[in-house]
Amino acid sequence: MPKKPSTARSSTSKKASNTAGAQKAKTAGRTRTTAKRRRKKPNNVRWYHRLLPSKGFILFLLLSGLLVFALGMLVLDYQIRAKFDGKKWAIPARVYARPLEIYEGMKLKPEELQRELAGLGYRAVKEIYQVGQYSQHSNTNSHSYRLFTRDFIFADKTQSAARYTVYFDRSKSIVSRVEGVGDDLVLRMEPQEIGSIYPRHGEDRILVKLENVPALLGETLIAVEDKEFAHHHGISLKGIARAMVANVKAGRFVQGGSTLTQQLVKNFYLTRERTLLRKIKEALMAPLLELRYSKAEILEAYINEVYLGQSGPRAIHGFGLAAQHYFNRPLNNLQPQHIALLVATVKGASYYNPWRYPERAKKRRDTVLAIMAKNQLISAAQQKKFAASPLGVVKRSSLKLGDYPAFLDLVKRQLRRDYRDEDLQSEGLRIFTTMSPNVQELTETAVKTHISRVNKAKQGNNLQAAAIITAVGSGEILALVGDRNPRYSGFNRAMDMRRPIGSLVKPFVYLSALALPEQYTLATRLDDSPVSIPLADGSQWIPKNYDQQSHGYVPLYQALALSYNQSTARLGMEVGLPQVINMLQASGVERSIAPLPSLLLGAVDMSPLEVSHLYHTLAADGVYTPLRAIREVLDTENQPLQRYPLASEPRLPPELSHLMHYNLQATMRMGTGRKAYNDLPDDLAVAGKTGTTNGQRDSWFSGYSGDHLGVVWVGQDDNKPTAYTGSSGALPIWSRVFGQLSTHGISNQQPDNIHYYWVDDTNGLLSAKDCQHAILVPFIEGSAPTTTTNCQHTDAPITRWFKKWFGR
């Protein structure tokens, strides 16, 4: 039978079972609570989703974004087309000197040709073999130059590079023969570029068309900068990957992945800033550019746009200008090693500057040559040969186009009469001027040398100078210097400085008298005693001679030759101030002149340019010609826009001009200009006049040969007195220039109504060839003396400087 305790155990089990159930229920409750909590969480997620945009809205945003992107691409496309189809660049005006034309019989010294060649950047070699070279050859009687000229486009024709030989007759300083010339028998050298008129941003370029670009240049550029150019659509993934690999291997940035198209976009359309936005624009615009334009158009634009160097404030853009900048030759005259150097500079024009870092530039050039050989553009033998050659760049000193600031200032002023500044800075005009590099260099050297010497001698540094050389007859200005430092681009004294001209006015006082042949001739006796002239305010004007001496009665020609003040003032008052003013204005003075007695001794302010106008009329036998610095202007297609033809007008009778030629030649032989023959050949007939103002504040000289007129001023900007007269300050500069210049003497062609007579120098009466004091003097018909003096024959007549020219 079961025992009682078992009932107790059953009760305990039951209790335990109840406890376990309760625990299970509690656990189940917790589980249900947790489940409830978990079931609430999905309700929270669904609430958050309700805050997110719907699929329709997301689609709207995507479509809107695509629309904005499309509009942005349209804007970029418009920007690309607007600039690429329009005027891509502001092309500066290019300014050229006059071309040297060489022909048989031309008066030209070998050293003058040498200076022209140096200015053009020609290189001396033993034997010429490429353009831009010359060689010299000499024998007993002749001297010759062999030249290999460059291509050049003139207004009348395109002149191709060619070989010539120029022979000189040493004894006569003339060209005896020219070999290689055509039917016109003239060798026309390409003109030297002397400057440009470029925009304020300073970019300069010479535009070239792709068909005129050497094939080797285009192929080398592609091989070095963008191998996949022919195949990609603006962006090259291969190029980017290749660049990444190269940079990782090198551990630094050694190669870029930009295509030529991307580089063009960056340089042509975008700024230089390194930002993500710029890179994005570049990546978007490159394919658009490829979509719109052919590879040929893109390559041509790149060749004209790329930055390749710096010349002072002028940025060198494009291979056309770079060829001139580095090698002083046209693009199509470059050799393979030259092309390699230009392509080498694309990577960094400053970093590979061949003047500043020649070893670095050569290493990069040789790398380009290796790439050219690898791509079979040149042979291995050529690579070795070219790599062994020097860089071949011109001397850095020959690169500056701002070397002639005073002359360019004159050119710009004359251009502004016909053209706007905007046109001069952006239309690519080609301006052909009258400047002679040879004459310019002679004038600059004479000014610098003389002023430096006198400043040093006087232990000061105050003297300044200006000078102008003009071609007689044409009125073309060949040289202009506006400062003792010809490279100074500030105040242009040749044009803007107006100072009293002193005795330079005297020839026009005497011309006014000689215009009255019934009263005055070259032999007329003038009174050089003291003179007192009443003025309007009741005071007296009492001019004195420079030597403070009076000379009694002297022949008119001698009073001018020796620049006597007293006789000149008396003569001017006798003739009349209005007549003197009329003579000055007929000869070229355009400003009004006050009718004051002091005018007779040069109290009238003029610039050296105005004096040149005045004296050119004398030098040109009385024919007035406006002086000019420009011959013609061509547009970008080399079509003439405007020519500046010779415009002349007879102002003075030929007989008056002949008398003044005679008188001013006397000035140079026996008067105040006689020291000039320390530098001049004795057989060169020149005429001129010195000028000195009160206190020797201004030193002037104006003189001419048969071909050239020169005007020189020396003085101080503060108008203080100097130690120099016209013969000691300005004349030495003039005589140094004319002593080295190839020029003909004055022809002294005798007008029909001029007759020569022997007269007595002491009384002005008729004399004879072998009589004492006899001189040969020209007279206007009907004005010669009729009374004969007593002749005292002599074996030693006075010096007849005139005999060799007048044939008497």
Active site residues: 225, 503
Asked if 711 and 468 touch (Cβ cutoff 8 Å), the reply is yes
Q: Are 467 and 495 in contact (CB under 8 A)?
A: no
Pairing of strands 152-153, 123-124: unpaired
Please list the alpha-helical segments (H only) found in 588-730.
Answer: 608-619, 654-670
Sheet holding 133-138, edge to edge: 123-124, 133-138, 142-148, 163-169, 174-179
Contact 157, 183 (CB under 8 A): no
Q: Going edge to edge, which strands form the sheet with 630-634? A: 193-197, 93-96, 430-433, 630-634, 640-643
Report in angstroms the alpha-carbon separations of 183 from 22, 157, 168: 132, 14, 21
Nearest to 224 by CA among 360, 371, 386, 382: 371
Our CA angle for 751, 756, 758, nearest 5°, is: 170
With a CB cutoff of 8 Å and minimum separation 6, the contacts of 278 are: 266, 270, 271
CA 403 to CA 489: how far, in whole Å?
A: 9
Which letter, b or e, does each residue of 164-174 get, where b requires 16 or more Cβ atoms within 10 Å of its Cβ? bbbbbeeeeeb
152 backbone dihedrals φ, ψ, rounded to 5°: -160, 140
Own/partner long-range contacts of 310-315 (Cβ < 8 Å, ≥24 apart): 310/349, 310/350, 311/204, 311/399, 311/400, 311/401, 312/400, 312/402, 313/202, 314/196, 314/198, 314/202, 314/204, 314/401, 315/201, 315/202, 315/203, 315/204
Which of 90, 72, 91 minimizes the C-alpha distance to 80?
72
Terminal alpha carbon distance of the chain: 189
Nearest one of 688, 527, 504 to 603, comparing CA atoms? 504
Question: What is d(CA 292, CA 261) in angstroms, rounded to the nearest whole number?
Answer: 12
CB-based contact 766:788 (threshold 8 Å): yes
Q: In angstroms, how far apart are the furthest CA atoms of the chain?
A: 205
Pairing of strands 463-471, 123-124: unpaired
